[in-house]
């Protein structure tokens, strides 16, 4: 093998090696999951801009939601000023949601969670309630009957 040819094959091997390292280092993006919504404490409610828990995420603990008041309704939280992690407005844009349970060792709260298509937790519009301690996730709100895609405007934490 000539000196030049030797140098060429060494160079080719080095390029292959570098390409291999680059490929190995490009780990695939972690799949979006409803478990990105935190669990524990008083429980959490999460909304995502896109279906299947994609796009920006908005999250709030049940304790914070319960302590609020909108339109004179205690425990009601309007989403008119809420933003996802990507900065976009939550109001009327959520396409998936999740409710994570409380930390059972602390037993702090266990409120029911109701999503409303209208602000001020107005029952005259469509609404959907999830009860008590459960853990829930809906990856595509357009599959609910009636559809809740791009229509969540307020959330109520209640006890009964
Ligand atoms: Ca959406």
User: Which pLDDT score, from 0 to 100, does residue 134 have?
Assistant: 81
What is the Å distance from ligand 1's center to 88 Cα?
10
Q: Is 50 exposed, middle or buried (0-12, 13-18, 19+ CB in 10 A)?
A: middle
What is the Å distance from ligand 1's center to 7 Cα?
56
Closest CA to 40 of 98, 120, 116, 101: 101
User: Which pLDDT score, from 0 to 100, does residue 105 have?
Assistant: 65
In a domain, 2, yes or no: no
* Range(s) of the domain holding residue 125: 34-158
Q: Is 156 exposed, middle or buried (0-12, 13-18, 19+ CB in 10 A)?
A: buried
More confident site: 49 or 19: 49
User: Which pLDDT score, from 0 to 100, does residue 133 have?
Assistant: 75
Buried b (16+ CB within 10 A) or exposed e, 79-98: beebebeeeeebbebbbbbb
Query: Which parts of the chain fold into alpha helices (H)?
Result: 3-25, 62-66
In a domain, 128, yes or no: yes
More confident site: 146 or 42: 146
User: Which pLDDT score, from 0 to 100, does residue 2 have?
Assistant: 47
What is the C-alpha to C-alpha distance for residues 68 and 45, in angstroms, rounded to an integer?
14
Structural domains of the chain, count: 1
In a domain, 13, yes or no: no
C-beta neighbour count of 154 within 10 angstroms: 25
What is the C-alpha to C-alpha distance for residues 120 and 129, in angstroms, rounded to an integer?
15
Tell me the residues surrounding ligand 1 (ion) with CB < 5 Å: 93, 95, 150
The CATH number of the domain where 51 resides is what? Answer: 2.60.20.10
What is the Å distance from ligand 1's center to 37 Cα?
17
Whole-number percent of the chain with pLDDT over 70:
77
Closest CA to 13 of 3, 24, 21, 1: 21
| Residue 71 main-chain phi, psi, to 5 deg | 60, 30
pLDDT at 82 over 60: yes
What is the Å distance from ligand 1's center to 51 Cα?
7
Q: What is the pLDDT of residues 90-125, one digit of tens each?
A: 999 999 999 998 766 655 667 899 999 999 999 999
In a domain, 48, yes or no: yes
User: Which pLDDT score, from 0 to 100, does residue 157 have?
Assistant: 94
In a domain, 11, yes or no: no
In a domain, 131, yes or no: yes
In a domain, 60, yes or no: yes
What is the Å distance from ligand 1's center to 144 Cα?
14
What is the Å distance from ligand 1's center to 93 Cα?
4
What is the Å distance from ligand 1's center to 47 Cα?
10
In a domain, 41, yes or no: yes
Give yes or no for a contact between 118 and 73, defined as CB atoms under 8 angstroms apart. Answer: no
pLDDT at 20 over 50: no
What is the Å distance from ligand 1's center to 11 Cα?
50
User: Which pLDDT score, from 0 to 100, does residue 107 have?
Assistant: 59
């Amino acid at each position: 093998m000539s000196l030049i040819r030797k140098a060429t094959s060494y160079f080719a091997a080095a390029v292959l090696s570098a390409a291999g390292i680059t490929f190995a280092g490009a780990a695939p993006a972690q799949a979006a999951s409803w478990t990105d919504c935190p669990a524990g404490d008083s429980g959490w409610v999460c909304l995502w801009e896109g279906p299947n828990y994609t796009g920006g995420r908005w999250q709030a603990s049940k304790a914070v939601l319960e302590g609020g008041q909108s339109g004179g309704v205690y425990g009601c939280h309007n989403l008119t000023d809420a933003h996802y992690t990507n900065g976009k407005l939550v109001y009327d844009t959520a396409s998936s949601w999740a409710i994570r349970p409380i930390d059972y060792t602390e037993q702090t709260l266990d409120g029911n969670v109701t999503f409303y298509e209208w602000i001020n937790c107005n029952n005259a519009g469509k609404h959907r309630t999830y009860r008590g301690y459960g853990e829930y996730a809906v990856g595509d709100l357009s599959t609910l009957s009636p559809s809740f895609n791009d229509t969540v405007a307020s959330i109520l934490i209640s006890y009964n």
